[in-house]
Every structure is written in structure tokens, then in C-alpha cells.
Amino acid sequence: MELLINSFVVICLVSGLVFFAGGSVGIIRMPDFYSRLHPAGKLDTLGIMAVVLGLALFELKQWSLASVLLSLKMMLIVFFVFLSSPTATHSIVDAGIRAGLAPWTKTKRS
Amino acid sequence: MKKPVFPADSPLVRRLQSAFSFVCTFCFLFALWLVLSGKFEPLLLGLGFLASFLVAYFFHDLLFPGFHRSYFASSIRFFAYIPWLIVEIFKANFHLLRLVFHPRMHDLIDPHIVSIRTGLSKDMSIVTMANSITLTPGTITVTANREGLFTVHAIDRKSSRALPGEMLGKVAAVFGDEVERIE
């Protein structure tokens, strides 16, 4: 049982790190302002979900009131990131559109 | 908004509604206090009780505005919608991850802006739809207005083709909103 939980925690943490790495690489590789926000805003959301879920499970292994409360707090972090990340992404895109920055499109199309 | 169970203008109903929202807000705030504080000494419990009571007394109509019949049903359906959304986020995230690490990424992506008319009219369903679109990778909501008109920036054709699709029907069903599809 211990091994099962531990391996699940490790899977969560590693996949979270892969998502974070994807987000960072995406920010560098994408061509323009708007498309950079795609990996920045969303791969990070899933990354933090996976990492915090793994940590909360790890904390829940010693079943006590303190660890349950700690896990609940971690879930609150995920909840607020889940709410605020799309809102922040949207407002950055909105600011770009309002300022008149034209989105990058493929040259063969234009 | 659906009609409440009783006519909303009678004083008894109004008092019941405000008592209900007060109790809900108070329980919610106090539970949050317990989770965040994590200490169960009488002094801290009393302070939390006092703080939640005062905030709930002054601002109880902000969080739970009233006692509508549709209110419970749509919150339950909303919590049923979240797991589906998370699964969608997972699927779409893997697509974006593949795109990011792909050696020929610039051939695969094709950023463009599409506008979709959904016909959603309620504030909550428009907010949920906009946030769901943004959370689903490959698409970001640029603008959303009261008429249910969304402007969406999509990273490639595949993301924008899947756009209103199933999600729109689900969001509309959660909040009891009607949908018109004009392509």
C-alpha cells in the first residue's frame, strides 16, 4: 500500500514537472505574444494540479487531522489557480488586442 | 433567472431567503476559517465565529443571493461538469504538449482568431464558458459579451474546429440556458 501511494505520488510529480517543462519550452519556442500565452497559461495550470495533487497525497499518508487540513489547503491553492489562471490569461490577451498588436499568422496564408 | 418557489415580494419569503443565505454564508466562512487556521483553541474558535458572523451578517446576499429552486440543481450539475472539464483539459494538454516538443512546430501551428455565436445569455454560463475555453489548451477567449458572442484565439485548426461543440451544450444544460447555433 505504501509503495502504491509512493509510486502514484512520484508519477504525479514527474508528470507535473513534464507539464511545467513543456510550458517553459513553449514560451520560448512559440512565434508571438498570443501563442506564447497558450503554453504559459495552461500547461502550468495542469502542472500545478498534478504536482499539488501528488504532494497532498503524500501528506495524507500519515492520516491525522493536521495532514488532512494541510491537504485541504493545498486543494484550495489548486482551486484558486484554476480560477485565476484563465482569467489572467484572458486579460493579457485582451490587453494585447486593445493595444492593437496583430496576431502572428502563417505567411503563406496572408 | 427562474421564478422563485413563492412570490419573491412577500416579506416572509424575503426574510426566509435572507436567513437562508446568512446561514449558508456563515457555515461556508466558518469552515474556511477552520481549514485555514487549523487550531481548535477556544479563543481562536471564538474569533473565527465572531469574524464569520460579522461578515455573514453584513454581506450575506453577495455569495448566496437567494433561495431558488433551480439553484441547487444547477450547483449539483456544475460539480458534475467539473470532472468532465478536467478530463477535457487533460486530453487537450497532451495535444499542446506534443505541439510544443515537436521539432517542426512552426508547420503544425496555425494561430488564428475565430468568433463563435453561442446564444448563451446568463452571466454565469458566459463566465463558465469563457473560462472553460481558456482552460482547454489551444484556445483562449479574447472577448465575450452579453449576447453570447465569443472571440477565441486558437493555436491550430484542430483546436478551433472542436470549439463550441460538446462543451457549449454541457454549459447550457448546467445553467438551464438555451442555445442557438448559427454557423
Q: Which residues of chain B neighbour A22 with C-beta distances below 8 Å? A: 96-97, 100-101
The pLDDT confidence band at residue A10, using thresholds 50, 70 and 90, is: very high
More confident residue, B169 or A70: A70
Interface residues on A facing B, Cβ-Cβ cutoff 8 A: 18-19, 22-23, 25-26, 29-32, 34-35, 37-39, 41-43, 45-46, 66, 69-70, 72-73, 76, 82-83, 85-87, 89-90, 93-94, 97, 103-106, 109
pLDDT, tens digit, for every residue of A21-57? 988 988 888 888 888 888 888 888 888 989 999 999 8
User: DSSP alpha helices (H): ranges in A1-110?
Assistant: 2-29, 33-38, 44-59, 65-99
Q: Where are the beta strands (DSSP E) in B46-121?
A: 112-117
Check residue A43 and give its pLDDT.
86
Number of domains in chain A: 1
Residue B7 reports pLDDT greater than 70: no
Question: In this structure, is residue A90 part of a structural domain?
Answer: yes
Check residue B182 and give its pLDDT.
44
Q: Which domain holds residue A13?
A: 2-99
Query: Quick one: average pLDDT of B66-88?
Result: 78
Question: In this structure, is residue A71 part of a structural domain?
Answer: yes
Q: Which residues of chain A neighbour B110 with C-beta distances below 8 Å? A: 105-106, 109
ipTM: 0.76
More confident residue, B1 or B115: B115
pLDDT, tens digit, for every residue of A51-108? 999 999 888 888 888 888 888 899 899 888 888 888 888 888 888 888 887 777 776 5
- Are A19 and A85 contacting, i.e. CB atoms less than 8 angstroms apart? no
Question: In this structure, is residue A23 part of a structural domain?
Answer: yes
Average pLDDT, chain B: 79
Query: Quick one: average pLDDT of B135-139?
Result: 79
